[in-house]
Structure 1
Amino acid sequence: MARPAAKARVPKHLVALAVVAILGLVLVADYLWASSSASSSAVWSSRLNLHTGPAGSTPPVAKKIKEDKKSVGSTGINATFADLPAPELKWEEMAEAPVARLDGAAIQIKNLLYVFAGYGTINHVHSHVDIYNFSDNTWGGRFDMPEDMAHSHLGMVTDGRFIYVVTGQYGPQCRGPTTRNFVLDTETKEWRGMPPLPVPRYAPATQLWRGRLHVMGGSKEDRHEPALEHWSLAVKDGKALEKEWRSEKPIPRGGPHRACVVANDKLLVIGGQEGDFMAKPGSPIFKCVRRSEVVYSNVYMLDDGTTWKELPPMPKPDSHIEFAWVNVNNSLVIAGGTTDKHPITKKMVLVGEVFRFNLGTLEWSVIGRLPFRIKTTLVGYWDGWLYFTSGQRDKGPKDPSPKKVKWVALGTVCHCHRCVVCLFF
């Protein structure tokens, strides 16, 4: 009698490979879902009450939305490093920007937001200015910057007509800084030079205070070591009244990427970091390599010109916020940024909270959350609405680390990097 055929045995290593393949497909599907949902073209808006100031009117294409007071916190991030609880906001997308930017700069004058320079990709930097009109939700009026003006990590401030542009990084990757300074007449679109800084700096804190242009902190020429120096120059109507910068009281803690604000005749410097990417030694393209960074929450105030005082710190350490703030109804509002590395993954962590600093009570609060965590937001405020554009966003609700810079510029998946978003106060 014939014996039945033996069942074919599948080698154990093939079974293991099949299991690994299935798990891999599941992980890829989960990643793609997270990426697509985080970068959806849907953006939201929500009413937020600061209890002071006019209600404002609805901007173009905005909708009437009820306030949602639901508090939300971390969404799956390791509990040792989570988002702060915040009211849930609904955001709405506005007109798409002509180009994406990282480490660009922005200055608001009335209903216009002047958006300068920045990285398009890590190997390409912009050398022009785009203008967003808050009144009609349009972009236009592009014009070029001077050929020898820095392209990122700029110090910048305005007196309401003239925009003063100080030092910064010239070129892509991690190239060196420049001492060159410029002033732009926004009415004529004419540029003129200003006396150079004593030494170049990356992303210094910059403000106009009591008739002088103040520049302080930032990173030194190696792009990594924090600087403490503080200089000022007398200026008026877009012109320097002195030929050389004057040394002022050094800032207690140096470093780049901090908000610098004049409020109630006091000079405030908020947040920032020590350390940054550096150029790889010997690299012909100045390729960026990571170095240690310490992000901080310190707030310093100079009220008499001679003594720095420390004010209550931010709710969490926050950096890359030099153009991420507005002064509204005696409150500073700061949106997004970066905080300390995740203690387990050691990756950069982006900030999605919207912070408020009440200048009357000197108290901080978290008043909302952006539609995604984002680095180097460019913020403006008009007619009761808060706007932001540009920056580098997170990988998704469960991953606060940043996407690659090229994703910001291409806009293929994360096109909301290039949109202006509004929030009703």
Structure 2
Amino acid sequence: MNVLLKSAVIVDPTSKHHLKKRDVLIENGKISKISTSISITKKVKEIELPNLHISQGWFDPGVSFGEPGFEERETLTQGLKTAAHSGFTQVAVNANTYPVTDSKSNIKFLRSKAEGQPVSLYPIGALTLGSKGVDLAELYDMSNEGAVSFYDYKKSIENANLIKIALQYSQNFDALVQSFPFDPSVARNGMVNEEVNSTKLGLKGIPALAEELQISRDLYLLEYTGGKLHIPTISTQKSVRLIKEAKKNGLQVSCSVAIANLCLTDDLLESFDTRYKLMPPLRTLADVKALQKGLKEGVIDGVTSDHDPIDIEHKKTEFDHAKFGSIGLESCFGALRSIVDTETAIEALTRLKLVFKVPVNTITEGAVATLTLFDPDISWTFSEKDIVSTSKNSAFLGKELKGKAYGIYNNRKLVLNS
């Protein structure tokens, strides 16, 4: 589809048109012309929207869809549709499925299901067979089939030697290893952040120590082995300090933060609403401030929606029995833009492409068009009607947000919100 974007402010520090209002013509999937004004006689779809901004397409480094195995939560088709309407052109999909994505054939299945979709899917392979933390999975074969990283989704690798071997072995084919920052022997059966609120509410706590111990261990292993390590969804102020120090020492470590942990605190638990039962748990205001500062300083490499659809039977129940998790794609940009400026928000949603080896396309003439269309300034209240996902378990329902995606252009397809 050929498209003419009218009067769009370009937000792309790698482009000479950065922060300038331009018309952008897209033909045959590429940006053919960028100018202050473009008039055209041939057939194109002209897009003119209030306060239109465009950036490089947004990338989410960690989403979960239900398929295969949990289609009642969300199918791959529905998940990719949700991503498109939320402004994401590329998503890395966790091995949070049944069967677990731990083989070449599983990777092939995910990629084939996503063929022809406007959103590009990048599979994450399980680090261990069945994500059981015992034996390494087929990392090399999965890498050859298109896996961009290896990660047992939100499961701690208790055997330090396994992480050591994974980091050593993965260097042979330049792969990215992820390790969830969680020590279950410290966390025990905790459900929420261990602090004043957990005591007041009588809920079993997960101390910040459970995260920080695991990060310390993994950074020592990385220092010993070399290789590339990504620590997903950090949530405490000391975690930020540990990773900052490791980067200063030259280690190839990156990290992400979930949008909920970046914006919300454990004060919300007073309602006993299971939408706020998350992993990692919501922490204190001091933690939230440290995470926001870490993001602005570049210590935290990017933001993930941590999109995790859960069916109503497993979410709308007693707090003790409810599953951890929240959907996040639809509210991610609005929540992020509520706490940082537009340029920082776009950086947070695109920088991890380099870490995960996802193509980066500058907004310049001749480049492949992979674009997100958005209004960074609109204020709105997130409600159930804004949810595209099959599941409705959002921690941001009722929250005031700023900034909203209009849609995307990617893979020669235009998707716009109605």
Q: Which has the higher strand share?
A: 1
TM-score (norm 1): 0.33
| TM-score of the superposed pair, with normalisation by structure 2 | 0.33
Q: Per chain length, whose mean CA-contact separation is higher, i.e. which structure has more relative contact order (CA < 8 Å, sep 6+)?
A: 2
Larger-Rg structure: 1
Query: Structure 1 or 2: larger helix share?
Result: 2
